[in-house]
Structure 1
Amino acid sequence: MTTDIDYDHLLRSNLERVFNERDDDKRRAAIAELFVEEPVMYEPTNIVRGRADISDVAGKLLAQFGPTFRFVPDGVAVGHHGLAHLAWQAGPEHGPVAVTGADVAEIEGGKIARLWVLLNKP
């Protein structure tokens, strides 16, 4: 039996509930819901393993860029056969876009197993 995956909901939830969430407890709860037990996140300069470390990276990123910094989806996530892509942009709320990129996720059992964070060149 094949389960239909709502790729857009899953990747948008990751942006909003993980990478825009400043409350550590809420972010950890979202990661437990959205990610497999032992996820891996590939950043351009780092490989992050495990839910706790992904939460730490997200929290430090938000702290580094200030209280109004946030990620905003750019379009709708697309995916099939367990692979999904969502473009995004980020910067201060109501401010200039500081960075653009995309998340590419491998989905297993309806959850994110591996996440690649791809940054566009400025």
Structure 2
Amino acid sequence: MKKHLEIWSETDRQKRKQAIDELYAETCEVFDPNYADVFRGHDALMGLIDEVQSKFPGFVFTKRQQDEHHNIVKLTWSFGPLDQPDAITGEDVFIMNGDLIQTLYIFIDHP
């Protein structure tokens, strides 16, 4: 899941698009607690990442812990600038379809 966090931190849209194509199913669904609507497909995911990056310039994701079994992966992360890498923390839960992310649930910790 290292590549997942690299995708969310990647600012080069072309590199990010290529990585999304390699890691996410074309019909992926992303559930973010800050939005009522589900993000469906690669284009919607790109738009969500663009928005996150524009709200938090210079922030990067860092892996904290990972656990997985069967087709489920749980990943805890931190998000912040280099001088405060734990500014925001949270957890992603993935439903995998083979090697591809089919569904992503994002959980953001509240202070």
Q: Partner residue of 2:61? A: 71
Distance 1:73 1:96 in 2: 11
**Residues 41-81 of structure 1, C-alpha deviation per residue, up to 9 Å, x if partnerless?**
00003221111110111122112211x21111112x21111
- SS of structure 2 residue aligned to 1:107: strand
**Residues 30-51 of structure 1, C-alpha deviation per residue, up to 9 Å, x if partnerless?**
1000011110000003221111
Q: How does 1:73-88 map to 2 (within 5 A)?
A: 73-75=63-65, 77-88=66-77
Q: TM-score, normalised by structure 1?
A: 0.84
Q: How does 1:99-118 map to 2 (within 5 A)?
A: 99-118=88-107
Distance 1:94 1:115 in 2: 28
- Cα deviation, residue 95, structure 1: 2.1
Q: How does 1:1-122 map to 2 (within 5 A)?
A: 11-16=1-6, 18-46=7-35, 47-66=38-57, 68-75=58-65, 77-95=66-84, 97-122=86-111
- SS of structure 2 residue aligned to 1:60: helix
Q: Percent identity?
A: 30
5+ residue gaps, structure 1: 1-10
Distance 2:110 2:3 in 1: 25
- SS of structure 2 residue aligned to 1:44: coil
